[in-house]
Amino acid sequence: MKAVIFDLDGVIVSTDHLHYLAWKKITDQEHIPFNEEVNHLLRGLSREASLEVILKQTEKSYTVEEKKDLIMLKNQHYLESIASLSPDDLLEGIPELLGLLKDKGYKVAIGSSSKNAPYILKQIGLLDFFDAISDGNHIIHSKPDPEVFLKAAEMLGVSPEACVVVEDAKVGIEAAKKAGMKAYAVGDALNSELKDGSLLDLMLIL
C-alpha cells in the first residue's frame, strides 16, 4: 500500500443532509415526491444520475434543457448551504487519520463524484492537504464506474494495486474493486459484501 484515496462526502465531511435539502427545494417546486429514503439512493451518484433517480418518482417528462436548469438550481441551493462549512465539520477521527498517513509517508487523494469537491475542501481547510483531487470535474462516468479512482491513482503516480479506498457508499466500494483496489468501509458501505474491511481495520494495519 502506497496511497489512500478518500471519498469526500460521508467520509471526510458529511453534507448528505445539505444535498437532501437542496434536492427537496427542487422536488417541492416540481411537485415530485421526495424523502430521505429516495435521497439515500443518491449516495455516490453524479448530479445528472441523481436527477434521473428523482425523476423516476414522477410521470412528467423533462427535456434535456429543463434537466440542466434543475441541476443548476439544485447546485445553487447546495452551494449556499455549504458556504457555512468549516474545519469543525470534519468527521470524528479524520484529522488524526490524515495526519498519521502523512507522517508515515503515504500519498493521499480525494476520489469523489462531486464537482464541488475543491470548494468543500477549501471550506474545511484541506484544499492544499491532498496530493491529488479526482472529482466530478475530471471524469465522465460516476461510481460504480472505477474512473474516479483510476484517475486519482494516475494523478498520484501510483499503480491501482498499491491504492486503497475509503468509502461510505456501496457503489463506491464497487467502483474501488473494479479499479483493482482494496476498499475499506464506513457508514452504509459496511453492508457491502465487496469490502475488504472497515476503516478501523485499515487503521490497525497502518
Q: Phi and psi dihedrals of 107, rounded to 5? A: -85, 150
Give catalytic residues, as residue numbers: 7, 9
Question: What one-character DSSP code corresponds to residue 146?
Answer: T
Determine contact, residues 113/101, Cβ cutoff 8 Å: no
Cell, residue 187: 457508514
Question: What one-character DSSP code corresponds to residue 13?
Answer: B
**4: part of which helix (H) or strand (E)?**
strand 3-6
pLDDT value at residue 45: 84
Pairing type for strands 107-111 and 197-198 reads unpaired
Cα 195 from Cα 147, distance rounded (Å) = 18
Cα 122 from Cα 129, distance rounded (Å) = 10
Maximum distance among all Cα pairs of the chain, rounded to whole angstroms: 54
Cα 134 from Cα 107, distance rounded (Å) = 14
Cell, residue 27: 422536488
Cα 136 from Cα 46, distance rounded (Å) = 7
Q: Grid cell 493521499 — which residue?
A: 108
Average pLDDT, 10 consecutive residues per value, the chain (206 residues): 96 92 97 94 87 96 97 95 94 94 97 94 96 95 95 98 97 98 96 97 92
Q: Grid cell 427535456 — which residue?
A: 63
Q: Is the four-CA dihedral 150, 156, 158, 163 of positive or negative sign?
A: negative
Cell, residue 6: 478518500
Assign 110 to helix, strand or coil.
strand
What percent of the chain is helix, strand and coil (3-state, nearest 5)? 50, 15, 40
Determine contact, residues 156/3, Cβ cutoff 8 Å: yes
Q: Which domains are delineated in the chain?
A: 3-13+90-205 (3.40.50.1000), 16-82 (1.10.150.240)
Cα 156 from Cα 109, distance rounded (Å) = 8
